[in-house]
Amino acid sequence: MKKLTKVEEQVMQIIWQLGRCTVREVIEQLGDKKTPHSTISSVVRILEKKGFVNHKAYGRTHEYFAIISQEEYSHQRIKGLVDNYFSGSFNELVSFFVKKNELKPDEIKSLLDRLDESEE
């Protein structure tokens, strides 16, 4: 799966949120009315070429929708992070967050409880 640029990811977040949408609706969600329609249209077409979205045409209007779920993309990005920075070890990732005080003891306990539940 290809990596998204910052702008592509921002547009994908909106498409995931809206489900099905037009370029105009994406621009409205961005909150910057000065954003050119052609710019966002180009980003969406790039996302389509990368295999993240597809569209259905209604005359000259195109309705876009995700074909890669947010969960699937998140999983691949996190897996890439673990592979590239933590020698493929999720244990190393968790240890890193514990050492940096990003993970509190009650959060660790909650994670362990979830693991126990999933094993049952």
pLDDT tens per residue across span 74-117: 999 999 999 999 999 988 988 888 888 778 888 888 888 888 88
The answer for residues whose C-beta is within 8 angstroms of residue 104's C-beta and 6 or more apart is: none
State the Cα–Cα distance between residues 73 and 61, nearest whole angstrom: 27
- Please tell us whether the domain made up of 6-66 is placed in CATH 3.30.750.24: no
Q: What percentage of the chain reaches a pLDDT higher than 90?
A: 68
Name beta bridge partners: 57: 62
DSSP structural state of residue 63: E
What residue type is 34 in one-letter code? K
Task: Provide the whole-model pTM.
Answer: 0.81
Confidence tier at 41 by pLDDT (50, 70, 90): very high
Q: How far apart are the first and last CA of the chain?
A: 33
The CATH architecture annotation of domain 70-119 reads Orthogonal Bundle (1.10)
Two tokens, residue 112: 């362990």
pLDDT number for residue 114: 86
State the Cα–Cα distance between residues 67 and 57, nearest whole angstrom: 16
Q: Do domains 6-66 and 70-119 have the same CATH topology?
A: no
Q: What is the mean pLDDT of the chain?
A: 92
